[in-house]
């Protein structure tokens, strides 16, 4: 049989449910893979093997009793270190939070447990989860398994690195400005940013979040197949009353015509040729799969949405965020805040929220015409690692390129990144966006794009 850690979550769950493989065997294989490759990646920064095996044994015992163990029964899954997991520190990449030990699971973690997932380990993120690069003063640098000179993405860089290298079958991540989508892009896997309100979240170990993160930050999955994202979304999105923004919306919406708007250069992004080629290729794959693809030259406002989202993210409580970053002393976090100061401070929250209603209305009207929008993830191929700290020009270059990721959360829309291949050894992919709570349309289009290319597979870390 193929090595268990190479399998999709769906295939592994089927084997465990049918008793062809035990959950303990799957957990043992996952731990062995972690031990083999994580020293080169530093994707997982905290894990407890005895606890992992105990979780797996509980799944096997439940199956032995004939009990239903959930869609992810026995599947090893990683959790990002910025959400509460009982008994672990919710560091968010901060030395300041090394002693913030969670007494209860975040709802998304609890939902994964309820679905039978075996929680394998905690994945790294940049300090405060601010950047599209993953390094911090408490856990260190995370490497991209495809090329250590490339960023693994951020802020869920540990999640992207882990799942690409076969450490777990699904990775939990969070996204306020691309933090699921960019690591998926950079590491050559798939990542789903769900609609705000789809997946419940709450960190009891930390103070209540300001309104900006409340209405734009989400949890979501990264995986090597789009089908695994679909299973993970269903598991993660179960009801939890601790999140007042959670909505009981069906995972499948009404049928709509399979019509795609394809935009190669949204709102002055000016992508590099390789990025445009990837989007055009994905459009051809969709056409071959029976979708109608219409190339458009303009979307509803993206640049304004991205500017306002940056303010909502960094400007809401800017001085307090800067003071915390100065106490932490993390160079990347300080570069992020200081480099954006002129853009985000002072900040008029009421004005931003008023404009949010207008822009969201425009985007929802757009999705009455199209099932999905196909566009770049970034204006560039994955960046050289730590590019944003090189100099002012490089910082500006990074923030310009990330326009398509930063904008989407402002309207609360879902976004799916699908890996489409490699340019040499550098991953490339595309982004699919749809109307609120229409992750199903993103996933359907994503599966068509995935099916038209080379199947994803685990990779061994590059030297």
pLDDT of 289 strictly over 70 = yes
pLDDT, position 9: 98
In this prediction, residues 182-206 reach a mean pLDDT of 98
pLDDT of 28 strictly over 80 = yes
pLDDT of 312 strictly over 80 = yes
Residue 128 makes CB contacts below 8 A (sequence gap 6+) with: 92, 93, 94, 321, 324, 325, 328, 330, 333
Q: Is 129 a catalytic residue?
A: no
Q: Is 80 a catalytic residue?
A: yes
CATH label, 8-451, candidates 2.60.40.1180, 3.90.1300.10, 3.40.50.11540, 3.40.50.720: 3.90.1300.10
- 3-class secondary-structure state, position 418: strand
Separation between Cα atoms, residue 267 and residue 269, nearest integer Å: 6
pLDDT of 2 strictly over 80 = no
pLDDT of 1 strictly over 80 = no
Catalytic residue among 17, 80, 258, 311: 80
295 neighbors 283 (Cβ within 8 angstroms): yes
Catalytic residue among 129, 155, 219, 237: 155
Per-residue pLDDT tens over the stretch 31-60: 999 999 999 999 999 999 999 999 999 999
Q: Is 237 a catalytic residue?
A: no
- 3-class secondary-structure state, position 101: strand
In this prediction, residues 417-435 reach a mean pLDDT of 97
**DSSP labels, 127-157:** GGG-SSS---TTT-----TT-TTB---SSSH
Catalytic residue among 8, 156, 161, 179: 179
């Amino acid at each position: 049989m193929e090595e268990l850690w190479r399998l999709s979550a769906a295939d592994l769950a089927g084997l465990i449910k049918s008793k062809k493989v035990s959950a303990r065997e799957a957990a043992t294989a996952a731990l062995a893979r972690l031990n083999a490759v994580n020293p080169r990646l530093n994707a997982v920064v905290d894990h407890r093997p005895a606890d992992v095996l105990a979780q797996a044994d509980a799944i096997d015992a439940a199956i032995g009793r004939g009990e239903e163990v959930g869609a992810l029964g026995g599947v090893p899954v990683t959790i990002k270190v910025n959400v509460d997991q009982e008994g672990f520190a919710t560091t968010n990449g901060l030395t300041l939070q090394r002693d913030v030990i969670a007494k209860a699971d975040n709802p998304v973690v609890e939902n994964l447990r309820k679905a039978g997932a075996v929680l394998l380990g905690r994945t790294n993120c940049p300090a405060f989860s601010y950047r599209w690069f993953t390094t911090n003063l408490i856990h260190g640098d995370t490497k991209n398994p495809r090329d250590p000179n490339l960023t693994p993405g951020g802020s869920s860089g540990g999640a992207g690195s882990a799942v690409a290298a076969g450490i777990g079958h699904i990775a939990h991540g969070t996204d306020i400005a691309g933090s699921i989508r960019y690591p998926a892009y950079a590491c050559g896997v798939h990542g789903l940013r769900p609609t705000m309100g789809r997946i419940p979240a709450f960190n009891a170990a930390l103070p209540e979040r300001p309104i900006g993160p409340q209405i734009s930050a989400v949890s979501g999955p990264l995986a090597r197949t789009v089908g695994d994202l679909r299973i993970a979304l269903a598991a993660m999105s179960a009801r939890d009353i601790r999140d007042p923004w959670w909505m009981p919306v069906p995972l499948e919406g009404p049928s709509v015509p399979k019509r795609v708007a394809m935009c190669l250069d949204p709102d002055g992004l000016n992508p590099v040729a390789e990025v445009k080629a990837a989007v055009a290729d994905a459009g051809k794959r969709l056409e071959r799969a029976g979708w109608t693809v219409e190339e458009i030259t303009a979307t509803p406002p993206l640049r304004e949405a991205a500017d306002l989202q940056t303010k909502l993210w960094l400007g809401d409580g800017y001085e307090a965020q800067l003071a915390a970053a100065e106490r932490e002393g993390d160079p990347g976090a300080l570069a992020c805040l200081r480099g954006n100061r002129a853009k985000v401070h002072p900040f008029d929250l009421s004005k931003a929220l008023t404009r949010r209603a207008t822009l969201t209305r425009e985007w929802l009207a757009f999705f009455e015409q199209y099932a999905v929008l196909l566009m770049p993830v970034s204006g560039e191929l994955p960046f050289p690692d730590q590019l944003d700290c090189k100099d002012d020009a490089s910082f500006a270059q990074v923030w310009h390129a990330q326009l398509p990721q930063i904008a989407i959360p402002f309207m609360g829309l879902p976004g799916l990144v699908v890996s489409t291949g490699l340019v040499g050894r550098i991953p490339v992919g595309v982004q699919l966006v749809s109307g609120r709570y229409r992750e199903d349309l993103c996933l359907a289009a994503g599966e068509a794009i995935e099916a038209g290319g080379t199947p994803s597979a685990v990779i061994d870390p590059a030297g």
